[in-house]
């Protein structure tokens, strides 16, 4: 199976060309330049691998949660590439990608959502698959959902920004925290390969971001 995966949900831009488990990946700190860089990077990677879009089996993208603008860029690029080459699309949770990246079996993934909140999800590995213990949601760090047991690993920018509050919420349950972790296209590709193999890809028109939050900033009266 040959896939192109991309993620622009954070300040980082990452891409991965996945060929039957072998991953050619790139990532850069793109800041606000994702839209200018993503297509040239994708073209360079395809050229390096000697592949055309038409030779791929699907396009995957980080569907969210994350930066509103970044999610729209990733979805739009994935849709455009897939539509032109008549390929299926898979949107993959950025929080699940963080769990996959950790290589652990019990993971609490949190992304900094700004405004004093985090995007949160908890997952347990069941064999080679993941089982959601807490579905993705938006919470104050001190109010994230409870989990059972110990040996959990924290990962994602939410732990970097709100580590003290999250550690207090999960006192005695956290076995470690992965520092400076961000969702990566390499893990999105690995998860998407399973989705495509099971026939769960969708048409380009049906692909959509997962925002979770419907508000991007405080109103003046709320500050």
Domains of the chain: 2-94+183-206 (3.30.420.40), 95-178 (3.30.420.40)
Residue 118 CA to residue 71 CA, distance in Å, equals: 16
φ, ψ of residue 26 to 5 degrees: the values are -140, 145
Q: Dmax of the chain from CA atoms?
A: 55
Residue 2 CA to residue 59 CA, distance in Å, equals: 9
Report the SS3 class of residue 142: helix
Interval 61-99: pLDDT, tens: 999 999 999 999 999 999 999 999 999 999 999 999 999
pTM of the complete model beyond 0.85: yes
Contact between residue 46 and residue 53 where contact means Cβ atoms under 8 Å apart: yes
Interval 97-141: pLDDT, tens: 999 999 999 999 999 999 999 999 999 998 889 999 999 999 999
Q: Is the per-residue pLDDT at 218 higher than 90?
A: no
């Amino acid at each position: 199976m040959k896939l192109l995966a991309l993620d622009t949900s954070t300040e980082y831009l990452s891409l991965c060309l996945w060929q039957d488990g072998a991953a050619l990946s790139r990532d850069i700190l793109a800041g606000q330049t994702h839209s200018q860089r993503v297509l040239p990077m994708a073209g360079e990677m395809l050229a390096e691998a000697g592949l055309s879009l038409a030779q791929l089996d699907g396009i995957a993208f980080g569907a969210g949660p994350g930066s509103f603008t970044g999610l729209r860029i990733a979805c739009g690029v994935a849709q455009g590439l897939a539509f032109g080459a008549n390929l299926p699309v898979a949107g993959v949770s950025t929080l699940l990608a963080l769990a996959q990246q950790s290589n652990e079996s019990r993971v609490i993934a949190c992304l900094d959502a700004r405004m004093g909140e985090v995007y949160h999800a908890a997952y347990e590995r069941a064999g080679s698959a993941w089982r959601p213990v807490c579905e993705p949601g938006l919470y104050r760090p001190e109010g994230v959902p409870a989990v059972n047991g110990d040996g959990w690993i924290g990962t994602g920018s939410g732990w970097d920004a709100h580590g003290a509050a999250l550690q207090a919420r999960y006192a005695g349950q956290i076995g470690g925290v992965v520092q400076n972790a961000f969702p990566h296209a390499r893990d999105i590709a690995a998860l998407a390969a399973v989705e495509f193999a099971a026939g769960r890809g969708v048409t380009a028109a049906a692909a959509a971001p997962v925002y979770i939050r419907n508000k991007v900033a405080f109103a003046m009266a709320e500050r």
